[in-house]
Structure 1
């Protein structure tokens, strides 16, 4: 594909933004192409921004990921990482499919239970959890990942008072991440296993977990292999229930075509952004799909065979905590254009201000920018000359940019137009939301395309 960007020495006013087209699920394409009037009515009636959530795509992702693990010969239970999206519809879908939930707070746990997920399918993560969360976890038989000796003792005390044993994983620092702030160091792990044996009437050790940032399949497979060894050591020390390894999340999502992504990285520079802002790190938008990564992890060679084979040989099962991977294509975010400040004569690009803010759709909490191009609606008008523009929120903050990158819109953007940001369900649409300026939090609309002529919709909520 020929590069649509300026060459060296071209004036800024002549710069042509790079086109980074987002991939679309067929359901999303059908909604945008055949049901624009409905989407426009929902946005106008319920306010901007508006999050559209698509549980049928979530359900399809569950099936694909389960099949990928099965193909690799691995016995894996899925826990949906609830922090990736607050919508209740995904919890309901998880409950219906027998998928568990990973939570890290008492309110998340209550919502998981209210959505129909039984306690034994709920995992509790997060460092140094408070006593209220411990008490709820013990009462409902949840699996608690313990981060320290102090937390293990507190949890045992809660279990003693409740007269119910706590189901426990010990979260350990993997050998390739010794400085992580999460988990037990080697000496602490050894002491914790001994403490579990002493407290056997109050603590039931089920296995081990770890925390990794990033998407390296090799690193995750090697860490999981270490945890299998820890299970075997715990059994030798009189803890026969140690037969579970939690590999966490870290399964990537592909947002754009990989060739397009590589081309973008080759030409990317400060001149592509408002105020020539420099971003040093991006999500790997053109990476491998989650199912392929899952197979790579389980097929990785460890000790003369694959990780999956090592686990099966030693009677160990896995737990995975995908969040973003189960939400791939399962939602999008819509904004209404409020104003267009055409600065092309002076700066070479316009500033499109939308009703809403970047708090509702942003990578800025990672010091980055959400890169896939938004879709401009209505699209029926005749395309004209490329209209370069960044997208700003309507707050009084200078840094409130929904998109810092200059987007090459196919025609001039006008007040009242709609911008659709695709594939925002995984962390983008609500992780950083705030009622700034006393603005209400955006609503979520649950849409199911199904086999009917018109999609069925409802507001999200249990």
Structure 2
């Protein structure tokens, strides 16, 4: 569920009128609902509470939405953080996430990022190659530290999602192939500066079928059993994240958290270790919308185009993945039209929807791109020298700009002329 609804013909975010908000901050902008973020986290955390041996860690996947206010909202509820860069770790710490609730994943950690994680005292590193094991061992030794780490496994499981967000197949760059994972754990145990505590996996994003996730978890359990049989301690298992959200009302909803938790309970029975979860999209996906203004409606030879002031640089998912976002008029019009919704970017790929049946709109109207809270603003760019759009958070009837629009002058200030020009 979410807290975006129509009242008297106008879309509201909680108790904030989005037309009024658009007048105040300009379009395009992202809007996040605090109530939706809070509810989704609480529902997920309650579903997995008690699983495993001890308090499970719900580590929000920061890549989904790294906005400081989003992270602070989750930190206040007790969330940890799954980070994949030093920048994400810095954001999580700044938002109030305790270091001992941060997991550092990612296939390309650099030594300075490892050093920052060690200095901060994060919970663990999820290591993704034998080369990274050696690198982390050297960095930890240089800092006279012994760091907790887990082996991230590539379980060779097809998650059945888009190829560009699939991370568990045999050809994926992520993780250590499962047939080498046992040896990698033994390798890590041979370093005095490393403390291998567990195994981890994450097979992809926007998963709508639990079967691949269960297969992955089962393989993690088999690996852990083999390690224990060989005399190693396995105290933590990170089962990843990836649960999908409903982007289209005409398609079946993905499994709910309690159904997912029932599967995890079944698959991890008897493991006797702490479980780590990495939800991202399912926490923030439909907690956000992007609001854009209609510049004009243009009739082409075979199509009608709605040209809006948001572009693929602001919301990349439709162009990159062919992803669907419901598009609704912020003020109800009572009629529909078939149109292709595009932005002003100088690319044919700057298309949000093709021949979409949608609310009728005209120049000056506002439209909302629904379920834009995950992988929206975080993937934005300044392509075509376009400003990054602001992000706004609402709570009840209050709102706050939590990331400012960067103006052309600010972008120019980052450049300098070469001395010979």
TM range (shorter): 0.7 to 0.9
CA distance in 2, matches of 1:365, 1:339: 21
Q: Does residue 1:456 correspond to 2:398, yes or no? A: yes
Gapped regions of structure 1 (runs ≥ 5):
1-23, 262-285, 300-305, 450-454
Deviation at 1:445, TM superposition (A): 0.6
1:114 maps to 94
Among 325, 330, 335, which residue is 1:377 paired with? Answer: 330
Among 328, 350, 366, which residue is 1:400 paired with? Answer: 350
Among 33, 36, 45, which residue is 1:66 paired with? Answer: 45
In structure 2, relative to structure 1, the CA distance for the partners of 1:146 and 1:166 (3 Å cut) is: same
Partner-residue secondary structure (3-state), 2:172: coil
Deviation at 1:52, TM superposition (A): 0.3
CA distance in 2, matches of 1:326, 1:236: 37
- Kindly indicate whether the alpha-carbon contact (under 8 Å) linking 2:241 and 2:280 is maintained by their aligned counterparts in 1: yes
2:366 maps to 418
CA distance in 2, matches of 1:87, 1:125: 19
Deviation at 1:363, TM superposition (A): 2.4
Deviation at 1:293, TM superposition (A): 4.6
Partner-residue secondary structure (3-state), 2:241: coil
Question: Which structure: larger Rg?
Answer: 1
Residues 57-456 of structure 1: pairs in structure 2 closer than 5 A? 57-70=36-49, 76-142=56-122, 143-176=124-157, 177-186=169-178, 188-199=180-191, 201-213=192-204, 214-240=207-233, 242-257=234-249, 260-261=250-251, 286-299=252-265, 306-311=266-271, 315-343=272-300, 346-347=301-302, 349-372=303-326, 374-379=327-332, 383-384=334-335, 386-409=336-359, 411=360, 413-427=361-375, 429-449=376-396, 455-456=397-398
Deviation at 1:248, TM superposition (A): 1.0
CA distance in 2, matches of 1:368, 1:461: 27
Partner-residue secondary structure (3-state), 2:154: coil
Deviation at 1:48, TM superposition (A): 1.9
Q: Does residue 1:25 correspond to 2:2, yes or no? A: yes
Deviation at 1:210, TM superposition (A): 1.6
- Kindly indicate whether the alpha-carbon contact (under 8 Å) linking 1:255 and 1:423 is maintained by their aligned counterparts in 2: yes
Deviation at 1:37, TM superposition (A): 8.0
Deviation at 1:444, TM superposition (A): 0.3
Q: TM-score, normalised by structure 2?
A: 0.84
CA distance in 1, matches of 2:16, 2:394: 14
1:11 maps to none
- Kindly indicate whether the alpha-carbon contact (under 8 Å) linking 1:290 and 1:325 is maintained by their aligned counterparts in 2: no
In structure 2, relative to structure 1, the CA distance for the partners of 1:355 and 1:115 (3 Å cut) is: same
- Kindly indicate whether the alpha-carbon contact (under 8 Å) linking 1:141 and 1:167 is maintained by their aligned counterparts in 2: no
CA distance in 1, matches of 2:353, 2:212: 32
Deviation at 1:333, TM superposition (A): 0.8
- Kindly indicate whether the alpha-carbon contact (under 8 Å) linking 2:32 and 2:289 is maintained by their aligned counterparts in 1: yes
Gapped regions of structure 2 (runs ≥ 5):
158-168, 405-421
How many residue pairs match? The answer is: 387
Partner-residue secondary structure (3-state), 1:389: strand
Deviation larger for 113-122 or 182-191: 182-191
Partner-residue secondary structure (3-state), 1:408: strand
Q: Deviations over 1:138-182 (max 9, x none)?
A: 112221111111111110111111112111010112154444322
CA distance in 1, matches of 2:31, 2:50: 32
CA distance in 2, matches of 1:165, 1:432: 35
- Kindly indicate whether the alpha-carbon contact (under 8 Å) linking 1:253 and 1:290 is maintained by their aligned counterparts in 2: no
- Kindly indicate whether the alpha-carbon contact (under 8 Å) linking 2:248 and 2:324 is maintained by their aligned counterparts in 1: no
CA distance in 2, matches of 1:186, 1:394: 46
Q: Deviations over 1:238-261 (max 9, x none)?
A: 443x2111111121212344xx22
User: Which structure has the highest strand share of the two?
Assistant: 2
CA distance in 1, matches of 2:50, 2:128: 32
Deviation at 1:405, TM superposition (A): 3.8
In structure 2, relative to structure 1, the CA distance for the partners of 1:28 and 1:165 (3 Å cut) is: farther
CA distance in 1, matches of 2:100, 2:315: 33
Deviation at 1:388, TM superposition (A): 1.6
CA distance in 2, matches of 1:171, 1:365: 30
In structure 2, relative to structure 1, the CA distance for the partners of 1:439 and 1:393 (3 Å cut) is: same
Cα RMSD between the aligned structures?
2.6
Q: Does residue 1:48 correspond to 2:48, yes or no? A: no
Partner-residue secondary structure (3-state), 2:379: coil
Deviation at 1:308, TM superposition (A): 3.5
CA distance in 1, matches of 2:78, 2:15: 34
